[in-house]
Chains A and B, each alone.
Chain A
Amino acid sequence: ETGVTQSPTHLIKTRGQQVTLRCSSQSGHNTVSWYQQALGQGPQFIFQYYREEENGRGNFPPRFSGLQFPNYSSELNVNALELDDSALYLCASSPGTANEKLFFGSGTQLSVL
């Protein structure tokens, strides 16, 4: 059984650029959620994908978008990066849409300069 893997582990971008983060879900899990964790804070829900469709969204602007692929892997895209987007981005997979018993990846640390 493989765990949740994310790539890249670290990324440095400049303001205004675009970024794509990737996540492979745990084997057997069909739901992927993305979270933003600012330094010293709890993770904040960005959105969830189930069967390749967005299935819930937190309080994030439209420049945060995502995709889920037939193999349940997922991408998070952020356009027009702002300094405040600097954070750890966590992907979590679960066997259903209930957001219970999440398995998190190790995250992508994004720095926007």
Chain B
Amino acid sequence: GENVEQHPSTLSVQEGDSAVIKCTYSDSASNYFPWYKQELGKRPQLIIDIRSNVGEKKDQRIAVTLNKTAKHFSLHITETQPEDSAVYFCAAIRAGNMLTFGGGTRLMVKP
């Protein structure tokens, strides 16, 4: 089955700096890679996703890059704000299969 590893487990940045979270996956057939944000005590919410036929996708301050050859993908947050503080989860899936989540990254943005 799929195995998704996520690094780092915690990340502390100063407000305005960039944050990068990296994930690797094991199943080369995986073709969909979402990122979820979970604030303390709240539900996970989808913030961005990318398919395997695309190398990069951006949405305002958030971007995701995918390297299929190396089987890794990354979340980039620019101009971080205190409200970006949360736990971020990457995930991977191949068609017809279940979604496998990484272990999560706790991002802390210091004002």
Contacts and interface: CB of A to CB of B under 8 A. Distances in A.
Contact of B98 (A42, A56, A101, A104): A56
B104 A40 contact: yes
A30 interface: no
Contacts of B103: 41-42
B46 A42 contact: no
A81 B64 CA distance: 40
Chain B interface mostly: strand
Given A56-B98, A99-B98, A104 B45 contact: yes
A43 B44 contact: yes
Given A99-B99, A107-B43, 9 more contacts: A4-B43, A42-B101, A58-B98, A90-B43, A100-B49, A100-B93, A101-B34, A103-B46, A104-B45
6 contacts: A41-B103, A42-B91, A42-B102, A90-B44, A97-B96, A100-B32
Contacts, number: 54
A102 B46 contact: yes
Interface of B: 4, 6, 32, 34, 36, 42-46, 49, 89, 91, 93, 95-104
Contacts of A90: 43-44
A7 interface: no
A28 B24 CA distance: 33
A101 B99 contact: no
Given A42-B89, A42-B102, A101 B44 contact: no
